[in-house]
Amino acid sequence: MKILWYVSSHGWGHAARQRELIRIYRLKYPDTHIVVASDVPRWFWDGSEINSFKEGSKSPIVMEKDGDIDLQATRLHFQNFTIKSSEYLKVEVAKQSNFSPDLVISDIDPLPIKAAGINDIPALGISNFTWDWIMKEMLPDMKNEAALIADMYNHGTYLRLPLGPDHSPFNSTIDIPLLRGGPPGDLKKVKKLLPKGKICLVALREIPPGVLLSVPEEFCAVSSLPEPAHPVCYNITPAELSKTGATFADLVAACDLVVTKPGYGIVSQVLAMGKKAVFFTGRKFPEEKFLLHPLFNRSGTALIGTNSAVSTSTAISEVMEKPSPPSAQCNGSDAIISWMQASGGKTTLGFQI
């Protein structure tokens, strides 16, 4: 089977869970030809055994600034997207026609879904939310533009993940169990890379504005970015991890505590591994409240709001005194892969641009 796999570049959590799905799918079906279409950096996909890599689809939402939403920039970008949507759609239709996939997957940009409908190719959306819902939440005066996005999704099947709203613009919807945002993790793979002492994994590309990141004396803060971004952190680059056959999930498994923001990938990892964690909250993303839901009253977990006077170091110390949280089941990949196999041989109705 040939799969054209679109992955949103709006945060690496989307890419992390899709990369994990690709890994699991490859183990079961090694002969599948997989092309990833994404604007997430190429190095992120090293080791995933994809066949090739292409530019991603145009997204209706602009990339966040300083880890949060810029509503003015989001509005302008969304207006421009809807104005140029027909032009963008033709590009996606041509891209799919050139590759002739048996299945199109999108997490969760809408153009690939409609392009697949036009090309009579089965399409699956895999996500915990859709961009039409996000836009209606953030920009309620742009309901007509959001409806245009919703119509694009209507040409596929939604494999809806938990930690999101009860909403679906797709032609059909299947509820899927929690999907782990990365492999189970093996602390032995990264033990030699880590400094001595307790490890606080800082899973952040940027520190929230106004936050002074600090850790207790007995801790060493560790990050994993292409270039060091946090002065307090000992940085292990993705390339260094790859050389030892390790992944970011192995760092999660090896750490004593994670400091991060609520995104689907890292929340699912923390839940699946039963990790203690400190989450920075208060961003304008509408889905944040759903991501935080399983973290409320969870042992070994602290939520620090944007106006909180609690320091990171104090929060870490308080969390470490709490009992370790239980591990959660994350078996969504089995259901998704079954649907992929079932969908690969089906056809959809044709549409005209």
The stretch 8-37 carries a mean pLDDT of 91
Architecture category of domain 2-179+332-343 in CATH:
3-Layer(aba) Sandwich (3.40)
What is the Cα–Cα distance from 59 to 67, expressed in whole angstroms?
17
What amino acid occupies position 105?
I
List all residues 6 or more positions away from 72 whose beta carbon is below 8 Å from its beta carbon.
none
With a cut of 70, say whether residue 351 has pLDDT above it. no
Order of strands, sheet of 219-223, starting from the edge strand that comes earlier in the sequence: 234-235, 219-223, 198-203, 257-260, 277-280, 301-304
What is the helix, strand, coil percentage profile of the chain, to 5? 40, 15, 45
Report pLDDT digits (tens) over 250-269.
999 999 999 999 999 999 99
Which band of pLDDT confidence, cut at 50, 70 and 90, is reported for residue 345? low
Any idea where the domains of the chain sit in the sequence?
A: 2-179+332-343, 187-320
Report pLDDT digits (tens) over 165-208.
999 999 999 999 999 988 999 999 999 999 999 999 999 988 87
- CA 283 to mean position of chain CA atoms: 16
With a cut of 70, say whether residue 350 has pLDDT above it. no
Q: Note whether 2-179+332-343 and 187-320 share their fold.
A: yes
71 or 135: whose pLDDT is higher? 135
Architecture category of domain 187-320 in CATH:
3-Layer(aba) Sandwich (3.40)
Report pLDDT digits (tens) over 267-296.
999 999 999 999 999 888 899 999 999 999
List the beta bridge partners of residue 127.
Answer: 160
List the beta bridge partners of residue 126.
Answer: 159
- CA 277 to mean position of chain CA atoms: 18
